Structure 1
Amino acid sequence: MKRRNFIQHLCPALTVAQLALLSSCQEEAETVVPATSEDEKEFKRVSALFNDEGFLIEGKSVFVNLAHKNFSKLADISGFSNVLEAGILLIKTDNTTIKAFDNCCPHQGARASWVVVNGRFKCENHGNSYNTSEVNLVTCSSNSISGGLVRFPVTLYKTYLKVLKS
């Protein structure tokens, strides 16, 4: 009976400890913040203004029509799009999250030659890769060969995405 009592008291404690350890090790999932009524009005206003490429630049805001054929790669996780004219890289990181980054390479400022390898943007000019987790952020043309690309906040409304460049 002593063994049974020991196991009955120890097992629940071990289970709780294991769950606590697992939850602390998992990366916090990002949630998509629903668009506000003001965002909704803004998206309705700009929806008729998109260019033939499927996006609109208005001041520091970039609006993207995700239903446009130029952004079809964003339907898949790890799919990305480089919007050169707007200066942004877009990547779909999970079923509900699209992240936006400065498309200027921190090493020497290249903008056109990106690929995604293991969830990181790799500049094909010199082979440097940059994370998308906002760790050790490095800015455009800072001669950095590693670190994280600068991320811009996004708002999603139906099939429209708004990127607010800083």
Structure 2
Amino acid sequence: MERRKFLQNTCPTVTFAFFGLSFVQACSKSDDEDSSYTSNSNSNSSDPYGNDSQSSNGITESGNTITLDLTNSNFSNLASPGDFVNLTSVDLLVLKISNSEFRAFDNCCPHNGSKNAWSYSNEKFQCATHGNSFSIDGNDAKECNSGSTTGGLKKYSASLSGDTLTITKS
């Protein structure tokens, strides 16, 4: 075989082997998006009750209404303003604003659709997949997986009654 033919046939394969998979992974969704609960704690723990029986983990879903029992231990990380939980089983980020106010948002990243890589600071949620930040004011809300790198997350109605938080997706 001639050297030129050998290089033409081998170089693309070798180049793809070295770089191709990392390029493909850089723009893909995370494989571990199936956990039903993550919090703002550094451990980003998964809910051990993340199964079909959501009422045992403090989450009840009926149509577009999600009810959270805040006395459930899964919501103990909502102790202070600025704390949040990511409920991937119902596609929600729940943020504590004050002792009497919570806000709920679509947990789907407007940029690429990631749902489990969120952090919160300075009135914005940041998706760790690509580092894009999205506002919580409800203005300029972007659709899930729209490719948008700025704007806001879709905000849902949230009302607190005692220890029950009711969220209505619309």
When normalised by structure 2's length, the TM-score is 0.66
What SS class does the counterpart of residue 62 from structure 1 fall into? Answer: strand
Residue 143 of structure 1 corresponds to which residue in structure 2? 147
What SS class does the counterpart of residue 162 from structure 1 fall into? Answer: strand
Match of 1:79 among 64, 80, 83: 83
State how far apart, in whole Å, the 1-side matches of 2:132 and 2:54 are. 33
Gaps of 5+ in 2: 1-52
Larger Rg: 1
Percent identity between the two aligned chains: 34
Residue 123 of structure 2 corresponds to which residue in structure 1? 119
Q: CA RMSD in A?
A: 1.3
Q: How many angstroms does 1:96 deviate by?
A: 1.6
**Greater mean alpha carbon deviation, residues 134-143 or residues 99-108:** 134-143
State how far apart, in whole Å, the 2-side matches of 1:156 and 1:77 are. 15
Q: How many angstroms does 1:154 deviate by?
A: 1.3
Amino acid at match of 1:87: D
Amino acid at match of 1:137: A
Residue 107 of structure 2 corresponds to which residue in structure 1? 103
Do 2:82 and 2:121's aligned partners in 1 also have CA atoms closer than 8 Å?
Answer: no
Do 2:69 and 2:163's aligned partners in 1 also have CA atoms closer than 8 Å?
Answer: yes
Q: How many angstroms does 1:74 deviate by?
A: 1.4
When normalised by structure 1's length, the TM-score is 0.68
1:129 paired to 2:137: no
Q: How many angstroms does 1:50 deviate by?
A: 6.0
Q: Which has the higher helix share?
A: 1
Q: How many angstroms does 1:135 deviate by?
A: 2.2
